[in-house]
Amino acid sequence: MAARRVPAATVAIDGQAAAGEGKAPRTERGRRTQQAILDAAAQEFGERGFHDASISGITRRAGVALGSFYTYFDSKDAVFRALVTHMSSQVRDHVAPGIRAAKDGIDGERAGLAGFLGFVRDHKEIYRIIDESEFVDPDSFRRHYATTAERIRQRLTAAAERGELRADVGEVHAWAIMGMNVFLGLRYGVWDADLPADDVAATAAAMLRRGLAVQPD
């Protein structure tokens, strides 16, 4: 396939990674190669951990030459950083349609958790990678959770402004919900899928719906 230029907005892994790594592909073919390297990196880091993972292990899994790796990433550290941002974006994009289609704010959180559990069951390596970023790249770890919590806070605030939730929902609730999702994902996504994802999400959402309801007084 002939290489062709793709719009600037689509070439970067995402805004943060592009700013951090600065090696955005200039062609659609390049974008696919970069994507294949990131998918291979998720397997390599997920199975072997950062220290035992190698660039040659990544290129072997991706079926690309070592030179292609260095076209897009400077180092093992750089591809790991890009991968954390990439996985963070993947989760966001995976759950977004369910949240948008929901009938209200709490139903959106239910759909978001159900989508997240589904994603985790198919991508168990995400836990090891995000968790290991606390040690390998603390800035990425912090950015991942700060960004996720802020997204939840904005959704809660919007729902409160629509009159669906108590007016004082805020950052503490957002962090509580994120933590709930992360640990339900660990228990019912990574460790064991002994309950349907929809049941887990419905139970958590029922607690939130009553817990964050508009105050009667």
> Contact residues for its own copies (CB under 8 A)?
49, 51, 128, 131-132, 134-135, 142, 145, 149, 171-173, 175-184, 186-188, 191, 195, 200, 203-204, 206-213
Whichever of 41 and 177 has its CB closer to its own copies, that residue is: 177
Please, which residues bridge with residue 5 across strands? 27
C-alpha distance from residue 189 to each of 16, 72, 202, 210 (Å): 27, 32, 15, 25
Residue 51 CB contacts under 8 Å (≥ 6 apart), including other chains: none
User: What is the distance between the alpha carbons of residues 86 and 83, in angstroms, rounded to a whole number?
Assistant: 5
Whichever of 21 and 109 has its CB closer to its own copies, that residue is: 109
- The least distance separating its own copies from the CB of residue 36, rounded to whole angstroms, comes to 26
Whichever of 8 and 207 has its CB closer to its own copies, that residue is: 207
- The least distance separating its own copies from the CB of residue 129, rounded to whole angstroms, comes to 11
- The least distance separating its own copies from the CB of residue 145, rounded to whole angstroms, comes to 7
Whichever of 12 and 182 has its CB closer to its own copies, that residue is: 182
- The least distance separating its own copies from the CB of residue 166, rounded to whole angstroms, comes to 9
